[in-house]
Structure 1
């Protein structure tokens, strides 16, 4: 069925240019599909600076006291992430009818994935790791999405993989990108998705674009709201999870460290509590000290060591009628945080750290709001034919992995099926 003129009709309309949106756009464009990408943020060059972060960062409240940070820019939140990665839970997805094996193999060929080499790990991180191992923790390296071959001891930001590179590839292959595009809802006809409504920038004019396939990849915080406003009422019916985390930072007299790739090591305290290296390179450390109201510590960066406590809390909460996320942490959640804090304190003190302080509590988003086999099928299609979801909102709560690599694989999986049906 034709709903508009040829210039306004696409094989696929992708809402969001983050990890999933960028991957799908790249895969479909290289197969000569006509792709439209609608990105809420701008397209300015990415810079790791206070002003650069301030221009693209956006906060969303997910509990009474916690906010989650996201980025409005081409490439989404990979513009300001740590580049830590976990392998996707292949078995979990296979049980849901989704085989990501082939997609993981392809992702390994296209994205720099590996552990940080020993010679690129700073003394802060090494000191922390030695202390953790001394106390009996199974302190191991984490995978990171970093091109170490291009690292020159200063370009920590530039060598992290970013989804923007996939968008640039899609554009070279003919995709169309519209920035400052805020999608309000999906258009549908007799339970078939046919397009989207959106505005651009501060203009009030409502625009429409039509397509054969509509993919919501706007992020775990935005996609459920778009679905709700499009008439799909049962999203977030089981709640969501946020992985609450807190950092501890102290100083070790006499330590004079080089800089670090933050998050490159860690260990599980148990199935519910994880400890992770939180030794940032200098710029991010300075930002953290400003946010924590500890500006005097900036001058003594080489002496500081940090560790993050992340806990697994049960799924719960709701998306209110006003489109707001609402959840409360339980006494058990706080007990797990305190247990992790005690362990982190022990690791820091064993390393010789003094003047230890806690950062503010942060969240990992509103993940798992949309359930596979309930809200979407094994092809990631919703109850509306031709409408698909692919972002952090569909991640199963059973496996709390650092999501970037899993999302790339899910997007490749979806793109394969879309390309075959277009």
Structure 2
């Protein structure tokens, strides 16, 4: 079928404007490709406030009562993330037929990725690091996506890189953005993807857009559902992983700290347990205390120190017939969490912390729902010609890196191949 005479025909339709969708849109638009971006959320200015977060946040159960949080807004979950970054596992992807070398080099030049300067690390984080190293743990700085050249010791939120900047670049180069657009399925003809169906807001009217290439970058919680509704039934056939995490927060008498970039340091206890600095800047700390039903601690912010414990759990679980994710943590998973909490408590107490309490267990994201070389090929194309996936769905289970920077590199990789064939 030929839809090239339609006004709503595009070189590429990108479902989702998060890290991958924004990157692909920017790359293709800069090469004069006609791009449509469909975003489920809105495009209101980003702010770090309770009202703003409540408006864009959405929780999805992934393991019993354990939920994963995502953001419905232009730029996706980078509107709410900590900006912690890991380099992509280049060798793992190379073994899967995906060479990210060129894309990693380009992303490092383009994004503000570096360790946080000592001048911008508060006494809380420094105290924690000193305690951990004194106990023999290799507590060291993490990479972060933060533009430190613009930091004024107050604008923690504003200096974090956000995918929305890439969307803005794509729009300047002629891309089209439709917000409040929920994609239900991909339109295909003889196993060739030719378009998508979507609704806008709460209206029931179904819209259609057609394109040469369709990219699902809706996130690991949405993309598998869209694929299944589009006729691809073997998604989530191996389960997924969530990296369950829990925190310990304590108070050190006499400590007086400035604010911090949360997650700027950490260490591995072993191959399956990782500890991360959980010294939030004041706004996020206040939110955390409210969520933890500890409002009286808000006034004592400068004395508080925290550690997040994150563990690897086996891939498993399912996407049920009604489109819900379901997984159970094992007894061994809980033992790893308890072991990590024991080490975290030891570090906190060695730093002089008391009044220690445990936060709620959270999900680190339902990732790896699709497998490269099974659900998508080395060009990230599905069994439908012209239909690609690029988001946390395809992250390998072996190297569980903090995903944002890896996703930028993957999106650049896919963009190169798409641009060469359009």
**TM-score bracket for this pair, using the shorter chain length:** over 0.9
What is the match of residue 274 of structure 2?
Answer: 274
Residue 4 of structure 1: CA displacement?
6.1
Once residues 313 and 3 of structure 1 are traced to their aligned partners in structure 2, the CA distance between those partners, rounded to angstroms, is 46
1:112 and 2:117 matched:
no
Alignment correspondent of 1:192: 192
Write the distance in 1 (CA, Å) between the matches of 2:419 and 2:400: 29
Deviations 1:102-142 (Å, cap 9, x if unpaired)?
00111011110000000100000000000000000000100
State the distance in 1 between where 2:319 and 2:51 align.
32
CA distance in 1, matches of 2:65, 2:34: 43
Residue 399 of structure 1: aligned partner: 399
Name the SS of the counterpart of 1:170 in structure 2: helix
RMSD: 0.6
Question: Which residue of structure 1 aligns with residue 256 of structure 2?
Answer: 256
User: What is the rounded CA distance, in whole Å, between the counterparts of 1:305 and 1:14 in structure 2?
Assistant: 41
| Secondary structure, aligned partner of 2:70 | strand
The alpha carbon displacement at 1:5 in A equals: 3.7
Other-structure match for 1:161: 161
* 2:21 match: 21
Task: Write the distance in 2 (CA, Å) between the matches of 1:353 and 1:359.
Answer: 16
Please tell me whether residue 8 in structure 1 is matched to residue 2 in structure 2: no
For 2:235, the equivalent position in structure 1 comes to 235
Paired residues for 1:23-422 under 5 Å:
23-422=23-422
Query: Residue 45 of structure 1: CA displacement?
Result: 0.1
Unaligned 5+ runs, structure 1:
none
Structure 2: 5+ residue stretches without partners: none
1:202 positional shift:
1.3
Give TM-score scaled by structure 2 length: 1.00
Q: Which deviations, in whole Å up to 9, do the C-alpha atoms of 1:277-336 show, x marking residues without a partner?
A: 000000000000000000000000000000000000000000000100000000000000
CA distance in 1, matches of 2:322, 2:284: 35
* Partner Cα separation in structure 1 for residue 67 and residue 301 of structure 2: 27
The alignment covers a number of residue pairs equal to: 422
Question: After the TM superposition, which parts of structure 1 deviate over 6 Å for at least 4 consecutive aligned residues?
Answer: none
Distance 1:337 1:5 in 2: 57
In 2, the alpha carbon distance for the partners of 1:364 and 1:301 equals: 25
State the TM-score, normalized to the length of structure 1: 1.00
